[in-house]
Structure 1
């Protein structure tokens, strides 16, 4: 069993699998959106909408990779159980602050990754269309 470590690890194997699944589904949604834009000859600026599913993909990947759920960190809970569904509150104020800082860093990294990806897709679309 994984141990809770404030600002470092707040999810176990089951929650990590859920985050990887979120990332995969979000990335698939990105591909479907791009497919629709190109197949149905929609305006190229719509590729910028890929920011939303790319954010979900990056968020899921980063959370699983770093064993830290940003939502849990902001809510002040953790679940390091092997099966999931065993959330416990974070009671130490210093631990809550560390968790919030880590959560905000993950959100910022996911937003930056999604923005870079959306701009890249848009730029490639300008060259292709």
Structure 2
């Protein structure tokens, strides 16, 4: 799969955008790890540990967008970008937009599942 050509429902971002999504994934992952370390170190209640879902969602969204070469926001708004950061082009064909919206739903769904699984696992882990 080429990362330099828009492909409806497959690829809507190029290398610069992919790097940015990957960096947001690493940031969300770091925040989640720090959150969990603090939660277990200070014995936070199990219900508080459920909030790890938020940084995990950031991480999952970032990594999934980078892996799929597909931006959720661009897909939802009918845009794509293979140039410099901050520049987008419109997707005009209705069928292409529908394909992009299906990919958005896939990424959002996977993010929700990943976030829920991690949050539930953090909730269920007993404190020492």
Describe how 1:48-59 pairs up with structure 2 within 5 A.
48-59=50-61
Encode CA deviations 1:68-124: one digit per residue, 9 max, x unaligned: 00111001100022x333210111111111101111110001110111111112222
Normalised TM-score (structure 2): 0.92
> Which residue number corresponds to residue 80 of structure 2?
78
> Which residue number corresponds to residue 34 of structure 2?
32
Query: How far apart are the structure 1 equivalents of 2:118 and 2:47?
Result: 14
> Which residue number corresponds to residue 19 of structure 1?
21
Taking only aligned residues, the RMSD between alpha carbons, in angstroms, comes to: 1.3
Task: Report the more deviating stretch, 113-122 or 94-103.
Answer: 113-122
Normalised TM-score (structure 1): 0.91
Which blocks of at least 5 consecutive residues in structure 1 are unaligned?
A: none
> Which residue number corresponds to residue 104 of structure 1?
105
Contact 1:6–1:99 (CA<8 Å) still a contact in 2?
yes
